[in-house]
Every structure is written in C-alpha cells, then in structure tokens.
Amino acid sequence: MIHILLSRLRQGHRTLPYPKGLPALPERLRGRPTVDASKCANTTDGDAKDGCQLCAEVCPTEAIMLHAGVPTIDLGRCLFCTECEAACPGGAIHYSGEHRLAVRDREDLIVSGGQEYRLAKALDAELMRVFGRSLKLRVVSAGGCNGCEVDVNVLQTITWDLGRFGINYVASPRHADGLLICGPVTANMEAALRLTYDAIPAPKLVIAVGACAISGGPFFSQAEQRGGAASVVPVDLFIPGCPPHPLTILDGLLRLLGKLGKSA
C-alpha cells in the first residue's frame, strides 16, 4: 500500500488544464491547412488558369479540386500527409499547427483561399437542454484501422479526463444519447451500425471521427465499404484527421456542447 501511495506522489496530478490553457502540441503536428491563392502558379500572372495541377495530382484521396485554377482541400478526405504542400512549387498550400478542425456541415470541411473556416457551432437550445450537461456516447468501430479508436479512447485517461465535461462512453446503445463512429462503414458493419443507431432513444446525435468515417478515407474507392457514416445515418459533427489528434476530437465535442469560450 505504501508503494502505491509513494507512486501516486511521484506521478503527481497530471490532468491537463485544458480548456483553460492549450496543452503543448507537437511542433510538427500537421493541422489545418491554409491555401494562399496569391502564391498559386495559376494566379500569379493575374488570370486564373489551371495549367498547374501538381497538388491535385499527388493527393492520394482526391481531396484537392481546382476552382478557377485555385486549389480547395476537402478535409473530409484529407489524410494530412502533406504531399500537396511538398509538391506545390509556389508554396500556396501550408499545413499549420492548428488543431481546431471539427464542423457541423460536410461542406464546411472544404478549405479554400478566400473563405474563413467555419468551426462547429453549438447545438440549438433544445438539444443543449437535453445533452449540455450529460452526453453519453456509444462508440462503434465500423472498419478502419483502429487508429481513431485509439485517440478516442485516450480521452478517457487521466490526461484528458473526458468525464469532467459530462461526456462518457457507455456500454449499451440503450444508455446512449448518441453514436461516435470510426471507420468507413464496411459492408460487414453496415447492418450492425444501423441496428445500434436504431437502438438509441431519440433525440440522438451522431459524431463521425476521422477521414474514414467522413469519406471512406484511404479506402474511399474500395467496394468493401460504404464511404463513411453519413451513408448510413445522419451526422451532426464531423471531426477530420487520419487520425485526428485527441485535442482535435475533444475540441469538437466541447464545441458541440458549447463548452468552449471564444478564446479556446
């Protein structure tokens, strides 16, 4: 017993003070990209052309489209491999250390040069009344690589202590207020996912975590999967990444529940 107490003293209190302060993130974290149209080779002579397609060509998940010659990046498809950044001769694409990525609408995941990124808005007043102080989530792994699950799970550790925000993962859909889905929804998980969704009492939320659950991710062209959670159930929150950093997931959950002040 004395050894346990001594260890407890040595290990100390290690829960992050987030959201009061931001924890240190890896310097090389590949977060939200920015597109600077003025540096794109297709605009530098003033007229939009689409002669240079290098960024779109190297993207393994076809996340980059050229609009009037200027790239837009679909973060729902993006694996954050940064091949496009490396390929761009003018330096128009840059992956920043910005971890805030979650959105409410699928279209809001498109990063373009002009528009500001629309982060997830909080639930409306009625849903906030129901879920704002206690949100129980059922996690379903519907294919994928278990990478997102790893960082979803990590939020339960003492480092992040998800429970202090009133959010818990529960063992039955009957106990749940919503679904958290990882994976592209394999053909073999479609029925189980649907049944799990149906078993959750309404009103209910669905949260799609990771590129797979949003678009099929690296498996988007495989016939063995359905192309993400929205193919089976309506999705209320999209958290992109491959996998997203735990802070990105937590940021999304807290944004949905209106628990982040303007500064966070």
- Rg, Å, the chain Cα set: 20
Segment (H or E) for 167: strand 167-169
Tell me if 26 contacts another protein by CB under 8 A: yes
Residue 3 touches another protein, criterion: CB under 8 A: yes
Binding mask 130-169 for another protein (x = CB under 8 A): --------xxxxxxxxxxxxxxxxx-xxxx---------x
Q: Which residue, 54, 48, 50, 35, is CA-closest to 92?
A: 35
Q: How far apart are CA 43 and CA 239, in angstroms?
A: 31
In angstroms, the CA 247 to CA 50 distance is 37
The DSSP code sequence of 68-86 is TTEEEEETTT-----HHHH
User: Are 43 and 69 contacting, i.e. CB atoms less than 8 angstroms apart?
Assistant: yes
CB-nearer residue toward another protein: 104 or 245 = 245
**30 contacts another protein (rule: CB under 8 A):** yes
**Which parts of 162-201 interact with another protein (CB under 8 A)?**
169, 171-172, 183-184, 186-189, 191-192, 196
- Both structure tokens of 123: 């639930």
- 89 touches another protein by CB under 8 A: no
Min dist CB 80 to another protein, Å, is: 8
In the complex, what is the shortest distance from the CB of residue 53 to another protein, in angstroms, rounded to a whole number?
14
DSSP state of 137: E
Smallest gap, in angstroms, from Cβ of residue 41 to another protein? 21
The torsion of the CA quartet 19, 23, 26, 29, rounded to 10 degrees, works out to 10
- Is residue 27 part of the contact set for another protein (CB under 8 A)? yes
| Residue (68 or 86) nearer to another protein, CB | 86
> What gap in Å lies between CA 180 and CA 165, rounded to an integer?
16
Cβ proximity to another protein, 131 vs 219, nearer residue: 219
Work out how close the CB of 61 gets to another protein at its nearest, in angstroms, rounded to a whole number.
7
Which residues bind to another protein, rule: CB under 8 A?
3-4, 7-8, 10-11, 14, 26-30, 58, 60-61, 79-82, 138-154, 156-159, 169, 171-172, 183-184, 186-189, 191-192, 196, 217-219, 221-225, 242-243, 245-246
